[in-house]
Chains A and B, each alone.
Chain A
């Protein structure tokens, strides 16, 4: 892989790497300004109104906006709800996708192609397109306005099943045969033969699942109605629409960044892994 990186670099040495550098720097700055500016605004004193020409820095910076936002809406409860939903989805998904991925990779059985196609339907029709009928289903199940209701449509994952199947298929058949000869049961095969080399795929799926569900908004918005189940994203939008807040941008940006912060910090720490995961999960 390292060798290959030289080639596109050649192109750039020809075009002129300084043009590339300037362009890259300008675009990178342009792309970073929104978050940086929101960060600055969130630390500005609330009684220091924004106005034309007074953009970047004020007399002093404060965390008061964060504490006020925290006290104006039950963000603590929102955090708990989001974390529980994300972990619940992840826990169930990891089991369902490993089992299904294993079945599709390891066995030949009647109807395999059709069943696989059926599962893949979920990738072609995103759940958000089906929010109206799914809302009815949740009402019928009697779990409206619960964290389970937010999570349950995602318990089976076509994408994860596909990913694990791909990972399991690339495990050498000899290894599997050896495991079978040694008398491994099906779950021992999964644990000792299939899973160890497939951990990167599992992590990749886990990171993209966690990101996706931490950030999800529309489904939680319609399926929750009370603070006991409302996640951060829906809580944030509710917060921005509170009458008493209006255009207090220092307060709003503080709340906004608070919602994004945990995932963002995890991302900063595991940046390489994160980006690789997205590549990995997308290209397999």
Chain B
């Protein structure tokens, strides 16, 4: 029996082999999305006796969220956080990759320096940074004072700096991760293009911006997707550094979701936030998918 005939006959085997994976995806990805959509049309709060039983309220949860200045603030914080971490981490990742993509003795040490934060748990990274951010004797402030900074020192406790401190930790942790992808991209670049460029007398910067960067476009798109999704799904450092404060100035979408569900016990609102969250993620991924498919053709 050849592989060809194996493929054409109907057999239950492939379905059985996929069943475990599909079942777990159904139970922990598909079902929770459906459940959230359903629950988002109901008012249900576990910590208020008269709201404990769900009541159908249509779109009220969504209306409540989008008319709540506090939730608008959360959306702004989320955008600031995403725009603050994603582009900077990617640029740094690219820079690091250029710096360590050399055959020099001890270059492994440099790669280690840039990559090691990736291996730490985010909560460990954040605890270390909480230590660095300590006012007065914290290393971060000591270094800033040395550079002439005289502003407020309580970074995690200042409403104007709390979100920035969270961004700093994320950038420190993730840049090395993106470096690794660029490094792989750089090492797979075609040699002949560079030889041609050298023959044409292109200098280093021209080669970098006109050849290297465009050739790495697909890598950049890929890293942007990873970075974007990661910036939405990681809030561990917020728990350690700021707990979303002060006065909720560093609360982002996922942290808000956690607050509503597990602090305020509000099933309806947290379901609505889950739905919004899922829509944002799907919209981003699908847009990216469509645009990148188009450009490949």
Q: Please name all residues of chain B whose beta carbon is closer than 8 Å to the beta carbon of A95 when the two chains form the complex.
A: 20
Q: How far is it, in angstroms, between the C-alpha of A99 and the C-alpha of B123 when the chains are bound?
A: 34
Q: How far is the CB of B210 from chain A (nearest CB, A)?
A: 11
Does chain A have a CB within 8 A of B90? Answer: no
Q: Please name all residues of chain B whose beta carbon is closer than 8 Å to the beta carbon of A55 when the two chains form the complex.
A: 137, 139, 142
Can you name 5 A-B residue pairings with CB atoms under 8 Å?
A32-B113, A126-B233, A132-B32, A153-B24, A237-B239
Query: Which of these, B21, B194, B219, contacts A97 with CB under 8 Å?
Result: B21
- Interface flags, A61-73, vs B, CB<8A=1, else 0: 0000000000000
Q: How far is the CB of B216 from chain A (nearest CB, A)?
A: 11
Query: Contact: B189 with A8, CB < 8 Å?
Result: yes
Query: Contact: A156 with B21, CB < 8 Å?
Result: yes
Task: Count A/B pairs, Cβ under 8 Å.
Answer: 328
Q: How far is it, in angstroms, between the C-alpha of A275 and the C-alpha of B110 when the chains are bound?
A: 13
Q: Please name all residues of chain B whose beta carbon is closer than 8 Å to the beta carbon of A118 when the two chains form the complex.
A: 22, 25-26, 30
Query: Contact: A15 with B204, CB < 8 Å?
Result: yes
Q: How far is the CB of B169 from chain A (nearest CB, A)?
A: 9
Q: How far is it, in angstroms, between the C-alpha of A236 and the C-alpha of B240 when the chains are bound?
A: 10
Q: Please name all residues of chain B whose beta carbon is closer than 8 Å to the beta carbon of A20 when the two chains form the complex.
A: 99, 102
- Interface flags, A93-119, vs B, CB<8A=1, else 0: 001110110111011111010010011
Query: Contact: B121 with A134, CB < 8 Å?
Result: no
Query: Which of these, B1, B7, B26, B99, contacts A24 with CB under 8 Å?
Result: B99
Q: Please name all residues of chain A whose beta carbon is closer than 8 Å to the beta carbon of B207 when the two chains form the complex.
A: 10-11, 14
Q: Which A residues contact B (CB, under 8 angstroms)?
A: 1, 3-12, 14-15, 20, 23-25, 27-29, 31-35, 37-38, 41, 50-55, 95-97, 99-100, 102-104, 106-110, 112, 115, 118-119, 121-122, 124-137, 152-153, 155-158, 161, 173, 176-177, 180-181, 186, 211, 214-218, 221-222, 232-233, 236-237, 240, 247, 249, 252-253, 255-257, 259-260, 263-264, 267-268, 271-272, 274-275, 278-279, 282-283
Q: Which residue of B lies closest to A5 (CB)?
A: B103
Q: Which residue of B lies closest to A120 (CB)?
A: B25
Does chain A have a CB within 8 A of B183? Answer: yes
Q: How far is the CB of B104 from chain A (nearest CB, A)?
A: 8
Q: Please name all residues of chain B whose beta carbon is closer than 8 Å to the beta carbon of A25 when the two chains form the complex.
A: 110
Query: Contact: B137 with A8, CB < 8 Å?
Result: no
Does chain A have a CB within 8 A of B235? Answer: yes
Q: Which of A38, A50, A130 has the most CB of B within 10 A?
A: A130
Q: How far is the CB of B8 from chain A (nearest CB, A)?
A: 7
Q: How far is the CB of B121 from chain A (nearest CB, A)?
A: 4
Query: Contact: B123 with A237, CB < 8 Å?
Result: yes
Query: Contact: B114 with A27, CB < 8 Å?
Result: yes
Does chain A have a CB within 8 A of B60? Answer: no
Which are the 4 A-B pairs with shortest beta-carbon distances?
Answer: A156-B24, A133-B32, A14-B204, A28-B113
Query: Which of these, A53, A130, A237, A264, contacts B28 with CB under 8 Å?
Result: A130
Given the interface contacts A133-B36, A133-B39, A236-B127, does A4 sit within 8 Å of B136 by beta carbon? Answer: no
Query: Contact: A28 with B131, CB < 8 Å?
Result: no
Given the interface contacts A8-B102, A50-B137, A97-B21, does A136 sit within 8 Å of B35 by beta carbon? Answer: yes
Q: How far is the CB of B125 from chain A (nearest CB, A)?
A: 8
Query: Contact: A259 with B20, CB < 8 Å?
Result: no
Does chain A have a CB within 8 A of B285? Answer: yes
Given the interface contacts A124-B282, A215-B121, does A104 sit within 8 Å of B18 by beta carbon? Answer: yes
Query: Contact: B240 with A237, CB < 8 Å?
Result: yes
- Interface flags, B204-248, vs A, CB<8A=1, else 0: 110110001000000100100010010011111001100000000
Q: Please name all residues of chain A whose beta carbon is closer than 8 Å to the beta carbon of B39 when the two chains form the complex.
A: 133
Query: Contact: B119 with A263, CB < 8 Å?
Result: yes
Q: Please name all residues of chain B whose beta carbon is closer than 8 Å to the beta carbon of A253 when the two chains form the complex.
A: 127-128, 131
Query: Contact: B239 with A38, CB < 8 Å?
Result: no
Q: Please name all residues of chain A whose beta carbon is closer than 8 Å to the beta carbon of B111 when the two chains form the complex.
A: 271, 275
Query: Contact: A177 with B119, CB < 8 Å?
Result: no
Q: Please name all residues of chain A whose beta carbon is closer than 8 Å to the beta carbon of B99 when the two chains form the complex.
A: 20, 23-24, 27
Q: How far is the CB of A97 from chain B (nearest CB, A)?
A: 7
* Given A271-B108, A278-B180, 15 more pairs with CB closer than 8 A: A29-B113, A31-B117, A55-B142, A107-B14, A112-B14, A118-B25, A126-B232, A130-B274, A132-B32, A132-B274, A156-B25, A158-B21, A237-B123, A271-B112, A279-B180
Q: How far is it, in angstroms, between the C-alpha of A158 and the C-alpha of B99 when the chains are bound?
A: 34
Q: Please name all residues of chain B whose beta carbon is closer than 8 Å to the beta carbon of A233 when the two chains form the complex.
A: 121, 123-124, 236
Q: Please name all residues of chain A whose beta carbon is closer than 8 Å to the beta carbon of B112 when the two chains form the complex.
A: 268, 271
Query: Contact: B18 with A155, CB < 8 Å?
Result: no
Query: Which of these, B20, B132, B176, B239, contacts A34 with CB under 8 Å?
Result: B132
Query: Which of these, A5, A51, A237, contacts B137 with CB under 8 Å?
Result: A51
Q: How far is it, in angstroms, between the C-alpha of A115 and the C-alpha of B119 when the chains are bound?
A: 33
Given the interface contacts A51-B137, A156-B24, does A127 sit within 8 Å of B29 by beta carbon? Answer: yes
Q: How far is the CB of B2 from chain A (nearest CB, A)?
A: 6
Q: How far is it, in angstroms, between the C-alpha of A173 and the C-alpha of B115 when the chains are bound?
A: 38
Q: Please name all residues of chain A whose beta carbon is closer than 8 Å to the beta carbon of B270 when the two chains form the complex.
A: 132
Q: Which of B124, B188, B235 has the most CB of A within 10 A?
A: B124
Query: Contact: B127 with A256, CB < 8 Å?
Result: yes
